[in-house]
């Protein structure tokens, strides 16, 4: 008996010594953070307008945008039919508003700014290499994710997808979860955050709510970290279609097609855009209020993201225009919009504090493309989606197609682009801001120069400021295939 007990004890002792040792050894052979110089990357994507689903993950799952062709055709026929028969534009506008509501009904938020319907998005809680579609991405954020997986190794890349209508403070919780998972899985104590487009304001919310202690670098790529003029204009009723803006945008859209491009020039020569915009002006003059009351406000009015993107100088006007003022009924909602405006007000101080405490910051903004010609300030220079003014952190930027002029005086000649279109002197973080002429919105497609630039931003092991490498100077030129060269 004694023999058996002592044998049992001996075996237990051996097991207790060897099993944990063995367990630790296997874990270390997979990844030892002390010996690894690859810092995990969190990619916070931009707005995926068509990426929302009703009853996501159930058998009833369907796109939140209702594009049932039968419904749309029926609506259009009804609108045009009754309008023409009765010779009445009111009927046409009513019909169009009805169709728009049918298409976007699922986007609606409740009066507190939360989703009215059961809408969600695909989420990626594990490291990105666990998902086939993320390992094989090509363009935009997907290309970035693939580049990061291949460059920094498995388990080092995390992708944050979110419902872009939501309060950025709600999305901040998802970013926090990704940061914590990355740290837990890899054993590293910090992450690099790459926030793209709408991901900018979401990341500002994360940094505000959870701090920057776990952030090594933060890259603001074509981002909304300073809001967006298009959202601001929408919220104060500055909807407008100007002939020059329409012409510029169409020319840009068809720039690869000589025939269409010439047709647009001919149309412009004969005043076609003036005629066209006289019609839209007439519609806006007579129906803007109705369009806002019955379509824009019910669909977009309570999206907290848009309230965060609204520029401070437009904010109170937006409250009057969209909500009818600071009424008691709106108090709950306004508490949240006020919080977002405060967050954006404190953003500059927060990022400066991050820089002082050793967090690497890069702001990357593009220009030389016109914007969607549907709002008053669509004559701003941009990257066809967002305005360079906000993406760059408020650089001084000439209107699209113009320069700042020969008489323009900059505070610092080093900070003006060689074509005198962008002056970084007025930007919030000029030392850390890159300006790239001609690059598309959220570049970084797989296999491009721009992807190499992204890798450099994430891995460069030296003093981190714009232009730290001769290869990637502060002012660069790109083309649509995202090649990069110095602009001088």
CB proximity list for 440: less than 8 A, separation 6 or greater: 366, 369, 383, 384, 478, 480, 482
| 38 vs 482 by CB, closer to Zn ion | 38
Tokens of 190: 């910090």
| 191 vs 205 by CB, closer to Zn ion | 191
Instruction: From 164-172, 186-194, 324-332, 382-390, give the range in contact with Zn ion by CB under 5 A.
Output: 186-194
| 135 vs 399 by CB, closer to Zn ion | 135
CB of 160 to Zn ion, least distance (A): 19
Beta bridge partners of 63: 53
What are the phi and psi torsion angles at 263 (to 5°)?
-60, -40
Considering the rule CB under 5 A, would residue 216 count as an interface residue with Zn ion? no
| 36 vs 260 by CB, closer to Zn ion | 36
Strands of 275-432, DSSP E: 360-367, 396-397, 422-423
Q: How far apart are CA 364 and CA 439, in angstroms?
A: 11
Q: Are 99 and 76 in contact (CB under 8 A)?
A: yes
Q: What are the distances in angstroms from CA 481 to CA 86, 204, 409, 443?
A: 51, 30, 34, 9
CB of 37 to Zn ion, least distance (A): 8
Considering the rule CB under 5 A, would residue 341 count as an interface residue with Zn ion? no
Residue whose CB is nearest to Zn ion in the complex, by number? 36
Q: Are 172 and 202 in contact (CB under 8 A)?
A: yes
Q: Scanning residues 233 to 272, which ones bind Zn ion (CB under 5 A)?
A: none
| 186 vs 448 by CB, closer to Zn ion | 186
| Cα 71 off chain centre by | 31
**Total residues in contact with Zn ion, by rule CB under 5 A:** 3
| 94 vs 129 by CB, closer to Zn ion | 129
| 295 vs 457 by CB, closer to Zn ion | 457
One of 14, 18, 22, 36 touching Zn ion (CB under 5 A) = 36
Instruction: From 107-115, 178-186, 303-311, 315-323, give the range in contact with Zn ion by CB under 5 A.
Output: 178-186
Q: Are 89 and 83 in contact (CB under 8 A)?
A: yes
CB of 452 to Zn ion, least distance (A): 21
Instruction: From 180-188, 209-217, 286-294, 329-337, give the range in contact with Zn ion by CB under 5 A.
Output: 180-188
Q: Are 182 and 127 in contact (CB under 8 A)?
A: yes
| C-alpha R_g of the chain | 26
Instruction: From 28-36, 197-205, 301-309, 391-399, give the range in contact with Zn ion by CB under 5 A.
Output: 28-36
Instruction: Identify the CA nearest to 391 among candidates 355, 427, 342, 440.
Output: 427
* Rounded (10°) CA dihedral 83, 87, 90, 94: -10
Instruction: From 35-43, 293-301, 415-423, 455-463, give the range in contact with Zn ion by CB under 5 A.
Output: 35-43
CB of 151 to Zn ion, least distance (A): 12
Beta bridge partners of 53: 63, 120
DSSP state at residue 472: S
| 38 vs 197 by CB, closer to Zn ion | 38
Instruction: From 37-45, 355-363, 380-388, 428-436, give the range in contact with Zn ion by CB under 5 A.
Output: 37-45
| 37 vs 407 by CB, closer to Zn ion | 37
| 187 vs 272 by CB, closer to Zn ion | 187
Considering the rule CB under 5 A, would residue 38 count as an interface residue with Zn ion? yes
Q: How far apart are CA 110 and CA 240, in angstroms?
A: 28
Tokens of 175: 């970013």
- Does the CA dihedral 198-202-207-213 come out positive or negative? negative
* Rounded (10°) CA dihedral 207, 213, 218, 224: 0
Tokens of 171: 């999305």
| 38 vs 232 by CB, closer to Zn ion | 38
Instruction: From 38-46, 173-181, 334-342, 448-456, give the range in contact with Zn ion by CB under 5 A.
Output: 38-46
Instruction: From 184-192, 252-260, 342-350, 453-461, give the range in contact with Zn ion by CB under 5 A.
Output: 184-192
Q: How far apart are CA 468 and CA 335, in angstroms?
A: 42
| 40 vs 95 by CB, closer to Zn ion | 40
| 403 vs 459 by CB, closer to Zn ion | 459
Instruction: From 32-40, 45-53, 128-136, 225-233, give the range in contact with Zn ion by CB under 5 A.
Output: 32-40
264 CB neighbour count, 10 Å cutoff: 20
The residue written with tokens 């707005």 in the block is: 47
Q: How far apart are CA 384 and CA 251, in angstroms?
A: 12
| Cα 483 off chain centre by | 22
Instruction: Identify the CA nearest to 158 among candidates 140, 176, 171, 172.
Output: 176
Contacts to Zn ion by CB under 5 A: 36, 38, 186
């Amino acid at each position: 008996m004694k023999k058996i007990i002592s044998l049992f004890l001996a075996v237990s002792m051996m097991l207790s010594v060897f099993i944990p040792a063995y367990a630790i050894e296997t874990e270390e052979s997979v990844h030892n953070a002390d010996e690894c110089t690859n810092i995990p990357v969190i990619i916070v994507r931009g707005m995926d307008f068509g990426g929302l689903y009703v009853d996501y993950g159930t058998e009833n799952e369907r796109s939140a945008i209702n594009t049932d062709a039968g419904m749309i055709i029926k609506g259009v026929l009804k609108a045009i039919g009754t309008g023409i028969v009765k010779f009445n534009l009111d009927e046409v506008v009513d019909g169009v508003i009805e169709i728009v509501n049918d298409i976007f009904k699922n986007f609606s938020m409740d009066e507190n700014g939360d989703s009215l319907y059961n809408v969600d998005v695909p989420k990626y809680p594990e490291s990105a290499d666990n998902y086939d579609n993320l390992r094989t991405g090509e363009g935009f954020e997907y290309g970035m994710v693939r580049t990061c997986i291949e460059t920094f190794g498995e388990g080092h890349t995390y992708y944050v997808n979110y419902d872009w209508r939501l309060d950025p403070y709600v999305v901040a919780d998802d970013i926090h979860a990704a940061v914590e998972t990355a740290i837990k899985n890899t054993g590293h104590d910090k992450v690099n955050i790459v926030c793209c487009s709408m991901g900018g304001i979401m990341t500002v919310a994360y940094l505000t709510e959870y701090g920057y202690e776990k952030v090594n670098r933060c890259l603001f790529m074509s981002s909304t970290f300073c809001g967006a003029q298009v959202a601001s204009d929408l919220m104060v009723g500055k909807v407008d279609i100007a002939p020059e803006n329409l012409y510029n945008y169409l020319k840009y859209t068809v720039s690869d097609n000589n025939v269409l491009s010439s047709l647009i020039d001919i149309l412009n020569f004969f005043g076609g855009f003036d005629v066209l915009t006289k019609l839209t002006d007439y519609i806006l003059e007579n129906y803007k209020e109705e369009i806002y009351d019955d379509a824009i406000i019910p669909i977009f009015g309570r999206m907290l993201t848009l309230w965060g993107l609204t520029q401070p100088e437009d904010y109170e006007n937006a409250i009057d225009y969209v909500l009818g003022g600071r009424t008691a009924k709106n108090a709950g909602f306004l508490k949240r919009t006020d919080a977002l405006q405060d967050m954006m007000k404190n953003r500059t101080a927060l990022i400066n504090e991050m820089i002082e405490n050793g967090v690497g910051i890069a702001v990357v903004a593009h220009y030389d493309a016109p914007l969607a010609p549907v709002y008053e300030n669509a004559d701003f220079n941009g990257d066809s989606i967002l305005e360079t003014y906000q993406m760059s952190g408020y650089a001084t930027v000439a209107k699209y197609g113009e320069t700042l002029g020969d008489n323009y005086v900059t505070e610092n000649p080093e900070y003006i682009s060689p074509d005198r279109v962008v002056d970084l002197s007025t930007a919030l973080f000029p030392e850390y801001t890159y300006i790239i002429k001609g690059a598309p919105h959220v570049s970084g497609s797989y296999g491009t120069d721009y992807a190499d630039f992204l890798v450099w931003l994430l891995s460069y092991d030296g003093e981190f400021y714009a232009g730290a490498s001769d290869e990637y100077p502060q002012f660069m030129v790109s083309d649509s295939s995202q090649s990069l060269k110095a602009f001088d």
